[in-house]
Amino acid sequence: MNNPQSTLYAATLLRISLGTLALAHGLLKILVFTPAGTVGFFASLGLPAFLAYATIAIEVVGGIALIAGVFTRYVSIAMIPILLGATYVHSGAGWLFSNEGGGWEFPAFWAVALAVQALLGDGAFALRMSARNRRLEKAAA
């Protein structure tokens, strides 16, 4: 059984979880690995430096936007290529992320979860709720 209110709350829970995860990974690249270290890692993979900075920016800004519920669908879609890139980078290490070098299942699942979020929309308690979700919220009340 599915009702509009539980769907809104499910979307909210997913949105906040994904946002927190993205923000944590972005801050990890800033505060622990440092931007220069992240650039060095990307360079070791043969990737240009600007992709490291773009990844950090999208993770931090996108994470904050998801937590707040601002442009949820667009932010989710914008983050998918980052996770697909991470899936590719980690594919050589095998399936499990606990393998040395990390596996590919976690970023692959994260990309799918972002696609689900894009389909669901903002959920409840979003700063910028879509018209569809406003209608669902009114119907649930």
Q: One digit per residue, pLDDT tens: the chain, 141 residues?
A: 567 778 889 999 999 999 999 999 999 999 999 999 999 999 999 999 999 999 999 999 999 999 999 999 999 999 999 999 999 988 888 788 777 877 899 999 999 999 999 999 999 888 876 666 666 666 666
Total number of domains constituting the chain: 1
Rounded Cα–Cα distance for residues 30 and 24 (Å): 10
- Which residue range(s) make up the domain with 114? 4-140
In this prediction the pTM is 0.87
132-140 long-range Cβ contacts below 8 angstroms, 24+ apart: 133/8, 133/11, 136/4, 136/5, 136/7, 136/8, 137/4, 137/5, 137/8, 139/4, 140/3, 140/4, 140/5, 140/8
| Tally: H helices and E strands in the chain | 6, 0
Read off the DSSP letter of residue 99: S
Determine the Cα–Cα distance for residues 136 and 141; give it in Å rounded to an integer: 9
Q: State the amino acid at position 47 in one-letter form.
A: L
Name which of 69, 56, 64, 49 is nearest 25 in CA terms. Answer: 56
Residue 56's contacts (CB-CB under 8 Å, 6 or more residues apart) are 26, 29, 30, 35, 38
